[in-house]
Structures are given as C-alpha cells and as structure tokens.
Amino acid sequence: MSKPIVAVPADIRAFDGTNWHAVQHQYVRAALNVADVMSFIIPAFDTGNDTDAILDRVDGLMVTGSATNVHPSLYGREATEADGPYDLARDATALPLIRRALDRGMPVFAICRGLQELNVALGGTLASEIQDQPGIWDHRKPADVDRDSMYAIRQDVHVKEGSCIARYLGAGSIQVNSLHRQAIGETAPRLQVEATAPDGTIEAVSVIDAKGFAIGVQWHPEYWAETDSPSRALFEAFGDAVRAYAAQKA
C-alpha cells in the first residue's frame, strides 16, 4: 500500500521580496519519519480554496504551529495590538479544512496554532498575551537561544484520566515544550479538555463527537518526535489513524 497523505495548510511568509507558501521542516519530517505519512502542503488563499477538492485527495489533516495568530474577528472579538501578527490566508484555508475534515471523520492533528484554529473553527475563543494574566506562567518561546533550546522540553502538563490522549500517553504528568502567547479562552462546545498546565492553561483537547482521531495539542510534539516518547506516541497514533482512514476509504 502506498503511503497515505495528509494535507498541511501553509503559512504565507514574505522573504526574498515576495510571498511564499511555507511549512516548517519539523512538521513534515515528523509526519514522514514517525507517522509514516506523506505531507501535501496546501497553499494559503484568502478566497478560492476548494476544501472538498483537497480533502477528496488526502487521508488526514495536520494543522501546524505558526508565529502568527488567528484573527480575532473569527471569534467575535475586535482586533487589538496584542492579537497580531496575523495570517488571514492561513485562517481562510485552515478553518474550513478543519470543519470539513471532521465532518468526514478524517483524522485531524492540530498543533499549537492548530489547536487554537480547531477551537475557533468549532466556536471557541482565544486569550492573548496570557502571560500577563495573574497566575499564568510565561509560555512564550525563550528569546535569543538556538532552535533546540527554543523547543526544549521544559514544562509539566497533566493528562486527564480517561482522556483520548491518555490512550497514547497514559494519564498523569508529562513534560512538553512551550512556545505560545495565546491559549484557548472559551472552549468550543464540541471540544473536551484533555490536558492542562499547572497554571490552568489548556494544553490539549479532543473533539467530543469525532468519528476518529481528532486531537489538538498546545505544545510541539513534532520537534522531538523521533526521540521523545510522548511526542513519538502522538505521531504514531496519528499515522495509524490516517492509515485506517485510507484503508476504509479504499
């Protein structure tokens, strides 16, 4: 059987004097080397995407992290200085893909910004600059360090007993990395909180009525997916779900 394929919505990034549709290597590397699935990078367009044409041709959806934030208008808020930077084309591409993939029972793995998009796509809201709230840690990526240090595993997360991800990680405490300024504010009605940080920040969710694998994590399992057990377990479970979906589709 040929390798199954997952759609990965791109970011719009500007360099060399033009715009590029980009996904960081760490995500597609983890998808290939650990989940054993191919990634099709989906260009980010404000309009014109044919969501069903994309999903007809893949077996799963992986929604990655990004330094940009979901535009507040998509969750009923006025945009403020604290909410940027934005990537409207990414929003317009990723949110419909999330909704339609869930409708189809297609495996969805949402990482960091992806978890935030999952929450917004299903009717939830986001909180910005969470480190400024009383009692909330600083979850932002460490400044002025090399990339491995930026993604260092350094934070405790409690996985809830009986949660979906407890099937893959076990319930209780695990260690994760942390690179985010935003977090889930109001949890979407269809999402179940799966894991939290000691300061109460939501760190993982699952879709309550999902027909299959539908997980969002606020941390970055892709970065150490080949060497860190919890990270590897999540990507292996995603790959198994994608293969099962591809087989039943065939």
Which residues in 151-170 contact ligand LF53FM6H (CB under 6 A)?
A: none
Catalytic site residue from 81, 203, 222, 226: 222
Active site residue 112: yes
# binding residues, ligand LF53FM6H (CB under 6 A): 13
Among 22, 32, 38, 67, binds ligand LF53FM6H (CB under 6 A): 67
232 part of the interface to ligand LF53FM6H, by CB under 6 A: no
Catalytic site residue from 112, 139, 164, 203: 112
Among 179, 210, 241, 242, binds ligand LF53FM6H (CB under 6 A): 179
Distance CA 226, CA 204 (A): 20
* Cβ–Cβ under 8 Å, residues 94 and 71: no
* N-to-C CA span, the chain: 10
Among 69, 125, 177, 192, binds ligand LF53FM6H (CB under 6 A): 69
Based on CB atoms, which residue is closest to ligand LF53FM6H, 82 or 208?
Answer: 82
Among 71, 90, 113, 243, binds ligand LF53FM6H (CB under 6 A): 113
Active site residue 180: no
Side-chain-side CA neighbours of residue 43 (13 Å) = 8
Active site residue 164: no
Task: Report the interface residues with ligand LF53FM6H, using CB under 6 A.
Answer: 65-69, 112-113, 116, 141, 179-182
Catalytically active residues are 112, 220, 222
